[in-house]
Structure 1
Amino acid sequence: MNKFFLLIIFSILLYANDLQRALEYEQKGNFKEAMQIYKKLALKEQNLSIDTNTTLVKNDSNLTKQNSQTNILTNYIEMGKFNSFGIKTYKMNYFLPLAYNFASTNQDYNKMEAKFQISIKKRLFENLLGLNEKYYIAYTQTSWWQLYNHSSPFRETNYQPEFFIDFPQNNEIFKNLRLGLLHESNGQGDENLKSRSWNRIYLSSSFLYDNFLFTPRIWYRIPESKNNDDNPAIIHYMGNFDINLTYFDKKFFVNTLIRNNLKFSNNKGALQIDLGYDLFNNGVYWYLQYFNGYGESLIDFNKKVQRLSSGFLISY
């Protein structure tokens, strides 16, 4: 872009100099020389217009490519300038009015319900250590809503406030390193035995190659006393890591989430597959989500769920 502006300024200076010479020739009566310079300037102007249009087309092409890479999960990597008032999307934001659980359950609720998620982040400050690092707070809320049941109660809601630090990496593929502190709970009280919560310290990174994004994450659960631990077996079902592998294009994305406790005997884990297609080229995606395994929600972390959900996702 800077080269483009320098080219324009240089062309303007040359244009002004040639125009001055043509006027001097005209004042002296040398009309032939003046007309030759005027002709030369007209041809230059036409070529400059063609070059400018070509540059704009190239820039539009690059912008389209960048927009295709600024997809749902590439919000993980923020490369924009610091905006002191900016609140941005963090994880996926979606509403799935058709979410059906194929697994058997003894609880008194409909297998068909609605599921939605809201996720945002806010950059606080940056570069306190001189490493170009960025400090964030974030909030994610996921709800399972018995929309088709009497009185339409919310069956479960999980709240995830977190704080994390991003360390950008000046590498073509290895994009960043992230250190975070994450709290997750379902907001229930101890009196009804439905309270679930845990705290984690996690380390994650991101690798971007062409249209593929690879995001591994490992965590350590902060220990709690036996009297306060309302889900002591959660690590057995959730494990200590997850991996996201994403392919994205201008119109669609495919994401796979894998989580496992890496135990050969009594193995537990989860697989989630996300499919999205941009219907109107405006960041509103038709979204299909398939989940199979443990830990979809805190209240059911130790129950196997097989759920297929459909709705829409917003990527802004």
Structure 2
Amino acid sequence: MSSHLRKLQISTLLLSALAALPVTAGVDDIVKTPEEIALEQKIKACAQTLKETGFVTADDKLIFRYCETRILSRGIKKGRLAQRIINERTTELNPFVITPHKQSYILPFTISDRFNRKPYESNELISGQLEEYESKYQISFKVPLRSSTLFIPGDGLYFAMTIQAWWQVYSDEISKPFRETNYTPEIFYVAPLPWKPNDGNMAFTLHFEHQSNGQTQLLSRSWNRILASVVYEKDDFAVGIKPWYRLKENEKTSPLDPSGDDNPDIHKFLGYYELFGAYAFNDQHKLSFNLRNNWNTGNGSIELNYSFPFPGSSRLVGFAQYFSGYGESLIDYNHKQQKIGFGIAVNDIF
């Protein structure tokens, strides 16, 4: 078999693997710059060359995406975060694969130094039997809402869902209930920025997010936010800032009013922004953080996540989490505590 033929067959395999990478063929009525026109011509020429060989059986969209990825990635130095984004986009159009959003993990054991019983005091039986140690898990995924570029080459529009649950699995006398579950659906847009300070990469995101614990009346907590972020990554680290604006809700007429704002003072404890980042010591040991703060009240929180090798598995990673401050869950938004947990994660930070 000739070297040329082997390369063509490898390209065919890559076309399937790169199914979800963005397309630069944007909306026709947008005026394109000479640079954008030249880039599109290069991609089309690449796609036409592959199709003319007769060895590539993928459809035009896959061929176009493969060529775009190959051309756009030339000369770009990619850090761990950028490489993760590229790897994730190879699964976006595969209906049998769920693409990660945030980390998904389970902590079979977590313990608090100041467990919050106050929200459950209306039911003394349950409140008295809740344990200060429990399990916690998070599931997070995203799906693309477009299979082509919207505004900027390399951008993406997504729907994402993150579910966190705190499970009283050790409370045998009250049938091991789920004490709290937080649901966070969101729609977000992500795109690269043209600046590359110190040979790094930058991107920005825009989000509309709803977060709720799905409870009723006295236990109900929720809010809606518009968020934006700017992220910088290089080599083994990434850092970013994400401010938000909370969408106002009507006041409740009484504590039992099913409509209205469940937590009008949440900003006093969770603030108006978060700082986040991650660093990889190597391929097996990685640390990430999330910091929230309200400068007026001095309230906020810090969360540290550490991943490490999980014995006997190349797919799972060991996972440890430390939290200190307000808002570990929505029901605890105005309660300060420290928590630590240990478990496993099914995907790493990058």
Residue of structure 2 aligned with 1:91, choices 102, 105, 120? 102
Q: What residue number does 1:238 align with?
A: 270
Amino acid across the alignment from 2:101:
Y
Q: Which residue of 2 aligns with 1:50?
A: none
Please tell me the residue identity of whatever aligns with 1:163. Answer: I
Distance in 2 between the 1:244 and 1:75 partners? Answer: 17
Aligned to 2:150: 128
Unaligned runs of 5+ in 2: 9-76, 119-126, 253-259
Match for 1:117 among 129, 138, 150? 138
Q: Measured at CA, do residues 77 and 238 of structure 1 come closer, stay the same or move farther in structure 2, by a change above 3 Å?
A: farther
Residue of structure 2 equivalent to 1:225: 250
Deviations 1:138-180 (A, max 9, x none): 0000000000002100000000000001112344423311001
Offset of residue 207 of structure 1: 1.0
Q: Which residue of 2 aligns with 1:61?
A: none
Q: Describe how 1:284-299 pairs up with structure 2 within 5 A.
A: 284-299=316-331
Q: Is residue 271 from structure 1 mapped to residue 302 from structure 2 by the alignment?
A: yes
| Structure number with higher strand proportion | 1
The residue number in structure 1 matching 2:192 is: 168
Q: Distance in 2 between matches of 1:258 and 1:222?
A: 22
Following TM superposition, by how much is the alpha carbon of 1:225 offset from its aligned partner in structure 2, in angstroms? 1.1
Secondary structure of residue in 2 paired with 1:302:
coil
CA shift for structure 1 position 281: 6.1
Whole-angstrom CA distance in 2 between matches of 1:159 and 1:315 = 20
2:286 corresponds to 1:253: yes
Find out whether 1:152 has 2:171 as its counterpart. Answer: no
8 Å contact kept, 1:140–1:161: yes
1:178 to 194, 198, 205: 205
Contact 1:68/1:251 (8 A) holds in 2: no
What is the TM-score normalised by the length of structure 1? 0.72
> Do residues 300 (structure 1) and 332 (structure 2) align?
yes
8 Å contact 1:251–1:281 — kept in the other structure? no
Shift of 1:304: 0.6
Return the offset for 1:209: 1.6
CA distance 1:75–1:158, shift in 2 (3 Å): farther
Is residue 161 of structure 2 the alignment partner of residue 139 of structure 1? yes
After TM superposition, the runs of 4+ consecutive aligned structure 1 residues lying more than 4 A away are 74-79
* Higher gyration radius (CA): 1
Q: Which residue is equivalent to 2:89? A: 80
CA pair 143-83 structure 1, distance change in 2 beyond 3 A: closer
Match of 1:214 among 231, 239, 242: 239
SS state at 2:269 partner: helix
Q: CA distance change for structure 1 residues 242 and 141 in 2, over 3 Å: closer, same or farther? A: same
Q: Distance in 2 between matches of 1:67 and 1:173?
A: 8
**Equivalent-residue separation in structure 1 for 2:334 and 2:99 (angstroms):** 33
- CA deviation after TM superposition for structure 1 residue 104, in Å: 4.8
Distance 2:116 2:208 in 1: 33
Q: 1:195 aligns with which of 207, 211, 220?
A: 220
Cα separation, 1, equivalents of 2:271 and 2:85: 22
The residue correspondences of 1:29-44 to structure 2 (distance < 5 A) are: none
Distance 1:289 1:247 in 2: 15
Answer yes or no: is the 8 Å Cα contact 2:91–2:99 preserved in 1. no
Quick one: distance in 1 between partners of 2:313 and 2:115?
39
Question: Any unmatched runs of 5+ in structure 1?
Answer: 10-65
Does residue 102 of structure 1 match 2:124? Answer: no
> What is the deviation of 1:255?
1.1
In 1, are the aligned partners of 2:78 and 2:234 still within 8 Å (CA)? no
Q: CA deviation at 1:205?
A: 2.2
Deviations, residues 191-242 of structure 1 (Å, cap 9, x unaligned): xx11111000000122112201112111000111112011000011110111
Alignment correspondent of 1:36? none
Q: Matched residues in 2 for 1:101 and 1:75: separation?
A: 33
Q: 1:310 and 2:310 equivalent?
A: no
| TM-score normalized with structure 2 length | 0.66
Instruction: Report the Cα distance in structure 1 between the residues aligned to 2:305 and 2:246, rounded to whole angstroms.
Output: 27
- 1:234–1:90: structure 2 CA closer, same or farther, 3 Å change rule? same
Query: What letter corresponds to residue 309 of structure 1 in structure 2?
Result: G
Whole-angstrom distance in 2 between the partners of 1:207 and 1:135: 20
Q: CA RMSD in A?
A: 2.8
Asked if the contact 1:92/1:119 (under 8 Å) is kept, the reply is yes
Q: Which moved more, 1:202-211 or 1:129-138?
A: 129-138
